Structure 1
């Protein structure tokens, strides 16, 4: 009888143990500097929903918008340390950890979305995904913010000479600074959080950002012209802590990877659609929007061509050569 009770007790303990394992949960915090109006928000919510549903709730996902977990750099460091599990960042931010990511800051690298996708989904993307893993980070999706263009308070920009002497706020990134210098502007690196005030006070004449961000930040209130130079393609990967990824069971890893690919497709489509809608909205404001014709576009490309040689020293000739091949696609 005692032996029977002992066996029964062991069996119940094994069942309890198995239940404990199956009931294990994983908390996933997702960082985003975006808000409810950002084009990445609906795809990100769907990503979170899919992960929770496909793991039967074992992975609990919370999204933290408006940079409440910190800026992109702080959040990326958090993912390295394992204090934050996932987040949207930028290749410019990743470039502070590995300079090879600055390859996306080369001017006029991509002529259109299709060319950009081909590069991200091909050899260039593969090289950078491996570089990211070396930093303890895994790229789940190559998200995008669209093409950066220039707004200013003085005049339309049709040719590089129109930028002569203009103080243009730019990112704190050497290739961005060099690009504006090559175009004859006076680049002024500045935090984005200070930009609206700087524009309204005339501290700087203009700035460069994709149409979606230019509209959502209401720069049309303090800028008169927006010229579609489309000089840099802004890439915003969805990244996960590799430490957290490896702690997940294999079947949950597969769920995360599949959800990441769906996010990638969704955010790309959303960005393209919203970009076109936003340009139309900007045209309804007091801001005057102008395109750059093919002949003048060549002048911009020629003026910034030397930046590629400079980039070889910064990011490496091998990856710049791969990027150069994108120009011919």
Structure 2
């Protein structure tokens, strides 16, 4: 056969004996990036997502997972997914709020009572209403993963109450709610990507940061931070986002499978974090961190909760924050 005839056979999907396996459809490879360490639940859940998707698709869909910011910072991976050079980006909700400001409602301080409240919001009508917010930016929300309840660390002093936060240089996300809250507390909030944070604390560019204890441990922040205060001042979700262009290019059955596997893995990832939290606190103590286990959260909430919620309501309406507060109450 001529080369033209061979190409025609391949294009038609003909499994000619003399072509062996070369005429079979090639597996579709998806690239998945996130900024967290490979010891973190995000990486373990991403690998579970990859394994499950490969098994359910009989090898037609494979996922290559890049952790620890290997493909760039939080904004870089989001931009890459929007542009179609990356298939799936996973990072914190605060980094998406520049594209979809209404998502900022999930980051309001002292809003979520516990993880049961979080699940009722994210997996219910409110979550369903928020998921389409990113589609205009070329992204599809496959699920809300868990970062967790944020706690404050720093290298200068123990934080027992709101007054102790005053004057600290605190790395935050670029989220307006986080920035506003620390401004109200008299701190100096400095937004930066997660991938730059360890070095910033090591060089004392910032005094501290705020993240869940599981991530504080997995990122080894205890090596450059002495004090941990269990403030639990805000909850942060992670958004598992896929390039809309890439998802819609897949056959319908594969699109449905990607969505189904993401929905299956999402609660498992949250459970990983919930189960790891008590042990992470104990381990941080073993590593030498001085832990304030019962700070005066009320002194902080009185300063920031209503003020930041009102700021959001003034921009985007009070419907969403009020709905979150009333969910499960």
TM-score, scaled relative to structure 2:
0.87
Distance in 2 (alpha carbons) for counterparts of 1:167 and 1:66: 24
Q: Give per-residue Cα distances to partners, 1:147-184, cap 9 Å, x unaligned.
A: 11111233322221222222322223322121012223
> 1:3 corresponds to which residue?
none
Shift of 1:319: 2.8
What pairs with 1:155-170 in structure 2 (closer than 5 Å)? 155-170=157-172
Query: In the alignment, which residue of structure 1 is the partner of 2:91?
Result: 89
1:201 to 1:44, Cα distance in 2 relative to 1, 3 A:
closer
Q: Does the Cα contact within 8 Å between 1:86 and 1:239 map onto a contact in 2?
A: yes
Q: Which moved more, 1:93-102 or 1:17-26?
A: 17-26
Aligned-residue offset at 1:239:
1.3
Deviations 1:271-328 (A, max 9, x none): 11122211110111221112226xx3332222112111111244443333333435x7
Correspondence for 2:112? 110
Structure 2: gaps spanning 5 or more residues: 16-21
User: Secondary structure at 2:190's aligned position in 1?
Assistant: strand
Worse-superposed segment, 94-103 or 17-26: 17-26
Aligned pairs (5 A) from 1:142-221: 142-221=144-223
Deviations 1:232-279 (A, max 9, x none): 111112111222222222222222122101210211011111222111
Distance 1:197 1:41, change over 3 A: closer
Deviation at 1:43, TM superposition (A): 1.5
- 2:37 is aligned to 35
- What do you get for the CA RMSD once the two structures are aligned? 2.6
CA distance in 2, matches of 1:164, 1:174: 19
The answer (yes or no) to whether the contact 1:151–1:223 under 8 Å persists in 2 is yes
Q: Give yes or no for the alignment of 1:299 onto 2:308.
A: no
Task: Select which of 270, 274, 277 maps to 1:275.
Answer: 277
CA contact (8 A) 1:99 1:314 kept: no
Check the 8 A contact 2:154/2:225 in 1, yes or no.
yes
Structure 1 residue 194, shift from structure 2 partner: 4.3
Q: Closer, same or farther in 2 for the Cα pair 1:21/1:86, shift >3 Å? A: farther
Equivalent residue number for residue 67 of structure 2:
65
Q: Number of aligned residue pairs: give it.
A: 316
User: TM-score scaled by structure 1?
Assistant: 0.87
Contact 2:10 2:23 (8 Å CA) reproduced: no
User: CA 1:194 to 1:131, structure 2 compared with 1: closer, same or farther past 3 Å?
Assistant: closer
Is 1:312 the counterpart of 2:313? The answer is yes
For 1:284 and 1:14, how far apart are their aligned partners in 2?
61
1:265 aligns with 2:267: yes
Distance, in Å, in 2 between the alignment partners of 1:283 and 1:164 is 25
In structure 1, list runs of 5 or more residues that go unmatched. 1-8
| In structure 2, distance between residues paired with 1:218 and 1:90 | 19
Give 2:245's aligned residue: 243
Is the Cα contact below 8 Å between 2:73 and 2:195 reproduced in 1? no
Contact 1:101 1:315 in 2 (8 A): no
Counterpart of 2:18?
A: none
* SS across alignment from 2:32: strand
Quote how far apart the aligned CAs of 1:115 are: 0.7
8 Å contact 1:103–1:315 — kept in the other structure?
Answer: no
Report the equivalent of 1:4. none
Q: Secondary structure at the match of 1:236?
A: strand
SS in 1 for 2:262: helix
- Answer whether contact 2:73 2:193 (CA < 8 A) is retained: no
